[in-house]
Amino acid sequence: MKVVCVGGGVIGLLSALKLANSGAKLRIIECAEVGQESSWAGGGIVSPLYPWRYDCAVTALAHWSQEFYPRIGQQLLVQTGVDPEVCVTGLYWLDLDDEAQALSWADREKRPLQRIDRRSVQRAIPALSRVFKHAVHQADVANVRNPRLVKALRAALQRMPNVTLHEQCAVSGFIREGGRITGVRTAQGDMYADQVVLAAGAWSGELMKTLGVELPVVPVKGQMILYKCAEEFLPAIVLAKGRYAIPRRDGHILIGSTLEHAGFDKTPTDEALASLKASAIELLPALADAEVVGHWAGLRPGSPEGIPFIGPVPGHEGLWLNCGHYRNGLVLAPASCQLLADLMLGREPIVDPTPYAPAGRLGFTV
């Protein structure tokens, strides 16, 4: 099977890797450089920020991926020598308004979430602000260093003789023959395939418009900042009021993120910088004396309820979607890409594919 995958973020790369491992011949097409959009810009928490607030379609993929991540991190390290740094640090949610709902969800879903007292939190994280009164904690939450994950996936794919990577290669539309999609039109010429996978993140909706299909995937801007601290400064992820601090092994601390509807504008703003710094200091007061060493913006692929589109597009045989992961692309990637591969290869799917199917969600009937 010859497959063209449009999009070189984590979703596109991991989709390609799973299909290539099954013997398919892949072309990955990326309009800029691999992994430099949302996959690079995100924080890499291997959990939805507030999983109990999401539809079960999202948490089903998240649960599968959370169990898979440590294994894929080790596999990529062995294969490529690049460590994606999948680190289990745990996550503390501070002063939740819906704590009872969170604990009820955890009990129902058999997730190891528990309420802990303030003194225990302070002992675990001495740098944490004392303004917070209570917390819930999940000890098995990991984070992945997403730029390194992209680098590792790229290295793994480049070692495969059945994979070709085309960067700086914009896709302008699809090649349609009768009712079937047989390839894509690109800046480097037409590229034909038996199957086409659209995994272009925030740009997926724009490409579907070329087929007259309204795909509700839109760009949602997010800005983050980065501090450099001592390696032991923050031992776990902390989250309060929708803002989080994520520790990396080398002492870098990520603070995120904003939620802005600004089209495809990725310009960092002074307003966001001030807001993120205020959140950082509220969480970790010592950061008032630390220097911001990075500030950037990325575009999430926003979708209704954050439920991704995974599966074939009715009326366009040969076209598959794996997009619209909104704020959870990194955590949902392993399960989303496994589900896509299962569907394309006719295997038993890891989860019920119905909630993610484009059929019905795009106004189609089957």
**DSSP letters of 96-146?**
-TTHHHHHHHHHHHT--EEEE-HHHHHHH-TTS-TT---EEEETT-EE--H
The pLDDT-based confidence of 59 (bands split at 50, 70, 90) is: very high
3-state secondary structure at position 319: strand
Can you give the pLDDT at residue 360? Answer: 83
Region 14-37 average pLDDT: 97
Can you give the pLDDT at residue 363? Answer: 67
* pLDDT at residue 324 tops 70: yes
Can you give the pLDDT at residue 362? Answer: 85
Ordered alpha helix ranges (H), 128-223: 146-158, 204-209
Domain 2-48+148-215+305-361 has CATH 3.50.50.60: yes
Can you give the pLDDT at residue 364? Answer: 55
Q: Give ranges for CATH 3.50.50.60 in the chain.
A: 2-48+148-215+305-361
The pLDDT-based confidence of 238 (bands split at 50, 70, 90) is: very high
Can you give the pLDDT at residue 302? Answer: 97
Tell me which CATH homologous superfamily contains domain 91-139+219-302: D-Amino Acid Oxidase, subunit A, domain 2 (3.30.9.10)
Dist. CA 30–CA 4, nearest whole Å = 11
The pLDDT-based confidence of 365 (bands split at 50, 70, 90) is: very low
Region 202-225 average pLDDT: 97
Contact partners, residue 311, CB within 8 Å, separation at least 6: 320, 321, 340, 343, 353, 356, 357, 358, 359
The pLDDT-based confidence of 169 (bands split at 50, 70, 90) is: very high
Global pTM value: 0.96
Q: What is the residue whose two structure tokens read 């309420």?
A: 115
Per residue in 109-137, pLDDT tens? 999 999 999 899 999 999 999 999 999 99
* pLDDT at residue 144 tops 50: yes
Region 325-335 average pLDDT: 97
Averaged pLDDT of the chain = 96
Per residue in 44-53, pLDDT tens? 999 999 999 9
Helix-then-strand count for the chain, H and E: 10, 19
Q: Give ranges for CATH 3.30.9.10 in the chain.
A: 91-139+219-302
Q: Name the token pair of 355.
A: 């909630």
